[in-house]
Structure 1
């Protein structure tokens, strides 16, 4: 018997499963009819892939604007179900592709950035005007004591201006993360706030030390904003406590004050939002900046009531084994 030659298996046909892994919705057409939708598109338009094939594109996308976009190519944004969708279409003869990306969160952050920049630019006007007035006054001869008062006022406005610059720049400075003990940041914050703490006769205490991984300047900015917030809203003479504890691979830091309970804690982190009991001048950017910085290193920031105190908390990456 003559042996039959062994049949080699055919190589597997190429697949396009990779298209289902894309986060963007993708719809492919030929001569106006759908040839393929990926998994994200099936979810977006609530049409199973097997039912979409062969149907006119309009029946799937259900918007004449998207049908027209497929025909001519180009890009547009539209609102659908409270979401912002960026739609891009390309054509090659009878073949066309529509790619839809959810950019809601991106647009929200852009809007917050524009809003925050507008608020801060407005806040710059007051110290700049005050400094101009001080300099104009110092052009004239006056008693030394009066001149010294003007100089003191100018220095105060300069410090305020410097803090506004820090607030504006904190989200844009390149991250320079390193391993450091929390006590290093605590010491810097206590030194910078020493005058305000003494003026309000407010004791400030810190919890156990931990090694963390963070940008020292941005960590200091978070601590300054939270402790200053406690000074503003807590009663004078009542202690402020900064607690620390390990949370798995993270370290949780909480700044506790004796202020009144806060009704709407979530909105406090929105740009140019201030507490109901806020007095004096302020941009309302402190907590917004805190959350932006903390989110930048992957942590979380929140407010909760702990007994009779408000706790402003955040997490940052820890490094096990202090020292």
Structure 2
């Protein structure tokens, strides 16, 4: 069986229809041509009959004129001769020639030639008879008898031809009528046959298509309804068959996707649920049993917020309503109650779906994380109280010993105590850095945001670092600036600037120059510290702002430092709503920069971050 696509079937259907139409038109053209030939032949016959009658009349008129000339002869050039005799003698050859031309190639061509010969001979005899009659010669009677015989022969020939042509004319008229009826019959039959054939071809073309279209339509409805599809079309090699196969493939993919999504939701550790605007639970996954000890059928259709602490219901509902009204995701934390009455701390992530008119929420149990945070805070308190105070006492004793307060020490002892003092200083710096980092991340340090100018940050920081720079004969240069105005915590930002300048001094060769600059764009004030040190290797640009991260592991012992300075700077800048980064090529120096939102930025957003 030939396998054709819809396009190829359409081409075949149109081609067959056109071929049939062409055959019909050609047949009709042949019939019309035959009919036209019959009409033309009938016209020729009618013309021949007319010309024979005219020829016979001319011969008769010439005979009558000849009689008049014999009785009263006129001059050959007289008007009377022209009127009564000569004009007919001139018409006869012309009329005869016309008849010969009309019958050329026909069945009467020979008979018409014989008539022509008879008339030519008659014309010659007429002229001889006229001359003999005028001159009264004895040949007059002879020519009269010959002329009589010629006229009788002419009459017999003309009459025979007339009878023959009249019969032929009647036959042609009858044939024309039959031909006309044949054309009409063929035209009607052809139109009817073309209509029937077109209908049969259309039914043959559309029957299979209609069946396939119905199958595809039914499968599309089933696919949208989520029910199994009908069996694939068999022996369907056209576009509709491909479409049906695509529907089945898509149904399999969707089924697999839905199965995976359902498995993901069903096996998820976090609680996933959907709520309406009033807080009624529409659907929930089985994780609610593991987290809250409740089965889904006890939750669906009820207010999910009922298992929340009473004092937190209003705030949580307000946040969820805000997410629904503003079509923005919200993240909140609250305390909820398990079936056994135990309280757990949860983190919510919720987003409103306008299409489903539902609020989709993910609830994660953060009780362990909160417990770890509390342990961290307790550890920080312990470090602050039980570690920093003894270290400070040891540092003070060491410093007093170096100063000779406890008496003169040997040089070796002074050197060793000095080294111990430096170690204690680094240890105290590490403890202070950890405490500052923890307080910044936990939000225990509030920023004192006020309107300040850039020089209030740059000048104190440069002044504080001037002594350290002079030890390496390094020039601290402040580039000209417009002293932009912005909002920030001056003490914390000075701490950031001091840290960046301190690092630049630490990693710069002696007798170099460090450039400190500030610029303002449309959205932020950008501070930058440029040095000519070893630079930051590619790939380390973002890592050096992580805790305890340094470019080289030996930097801690060689240059000092805890690896917390840049991470503290990052925390302070991000608390201001800004960003921090570095631009560097290894071996050619670095530019450390940070940006703080300018005074034209959204102050309320920054204040919220600060609080």
The TM-score with structure 1 as length reference comes to 0.60
Give 1:242's aligned residue.
516
Q: Which of 188, 193, 197 does residue 465 from structure 2 map onto?
A: 193
- The 3 A distance-change label for structure 1 pair 94 and 181 is closer
Deviations 1:139-177 (A, max 9, x none): 97414999x9989x9799679847853663362421101
> Shift in Å at residue 262 of structure 1?
1.3
> Residues 59 and 266 of structure 1: is their aligned pair in 2 closer, same or farther, counting only changes over 3 Å?
closer
Q: Is the 8 A contact 2:573 2:594 kept in 1?
A: yes
Partner of 1:273: 549
Which residue of 134, 138, 142 corresponds with 2:407? 142
1:139 to 1:260, Cα distance in 2 relative to 1, 3 A: closer
Aligned partner of residue 511 in structure 2, secondary structure: coil
2:494 matched to 1:232? no
| Of 61, 66, 86, the match for 2:265 | 61
CA contact (8 A) 2:526 2:596 kept: yes
Unmatched runs of 5 consecutive residues or more in structure 2: 1-253, 271-284, 305-359, 601-611
Partner of 1:179: 451
Tell me, yes or no, if the aligned pair for 1:185 and 1:216 is still in contact at 8 Å.
yes
Alpha-carbon distance between aligned partners in 2 of 1:273 and 1:293, rounded to the nearest angstrom:
17
Cα 1:58–1:156 shift into 2, 3 Å: closer
- Do the aligned partners of residues 137 and 94 (structure 1) sit closer, same or farther apart at CA in structure 2, a change above 3 Å counting? closer
Pick from 486, 497, 501 the counterpart of residue 212 of structure 1.
486
* Contact in 1 for aligned 2:547/2:567 (Cα 8 Å): yes
> Relative to 1, partners in 2 of residues 1:167 and 1:182: Cα closer, same or farther, differing over 3 Å?
farther
- The answer to whether the 8 A contact 2:401-2:407 is kept is no
2:362 to 65, 77, 100: 100
The offset of 1:128, in angstroms, is: 6.1
Instruction: Give a deviation string over 1:49-102, Cα, whole Å, max 9, x none.
Output: xx98xx9x9546141756543235529xxxxxxxxxxxxx88672527694258
Whether the 8 Å CA contact 1:225–1:286 is kept in 2: the answer is yes
| Residues 65 and 90 (structure 1), Cα distance of their counterparts in 2 relative to 1, 3 Å cut | same
Q: Would the aligned equivalents of 1:58 and 1:64 in 2 still touch at CA under 8 Å?
A: no
Structure number with higher relative contact order (C-alpha < 8 Å, ≥ 6 residues apart)? 1
Give the match's secondary structure for 1:319. coil
For the 8 Å contact 2:547–2:563, the answer to whether it is kept is yes
- Higher-strand-fraction structure: 1
Q: Deviations over 1:264-317 (max 9, x none)?
A: 111101101112162233210011111111111111111112794310011012
User: Cα deviations across residues 15-66 of structure 1 (Å, max 9, x unaligned)?
Assistant: xxxxxxxxxxxxxxxxxxxxxxxxxxxxxxxxx9xx98xx9x9546141756
Structure 1 residue 133 displacement after superposition: 3.9
1:205–1:242 Cα contact (<8 Å) kept: yes
What does residue 315 of structure 1 align with? 595
Task: State the partner residue of 1:165.
Answer: 432
SS of match in other structure, 2:598: strand
Instruction: Give the Cα–Cα distance (whole angstroms) in 1 for the partners of residues 398 and 548 of structure 2.
Output: 27
The reply to whether residue 252 of structure 1 matches residue 457 of structure 2 is: no
Alignment root-mean-square deviation, CA: 4.8
Counterpart Cα distance in 1 of 2:365 and 2:459: 42
Q: Is the 8 A contact 1:251 1:317 kept in 2?
A: yes
Q: Higher helix share goes to which structure?
A: 2
1:286 pairs with one of 551, 565, 580: 565
Separation in structure 2 between the aligned mates of residue 213 and residue 239 of structure 1, nearest angstrom: 30
Q: 1:174 to 1:103 in 2, by over 3 A?
A: farther
- In the alignment, does 2:322 pair up with 1:70? no
**Structure 1 CA distance for aligned equivalents of residues 484 and 550 of structure 2:** 31
Q: Structure 1: any 5+ residue segments left out of the alignment?
A: 1-47, 76-88
Contact 1:73 1:90 in 2 (8 A): no
In 2, are the aligned partners of 1:303 and 1:311 still within 8 Å (CA)? yes
User: Separation in 2 of the partners of 1:154 and 1:143?
Assistant: 17
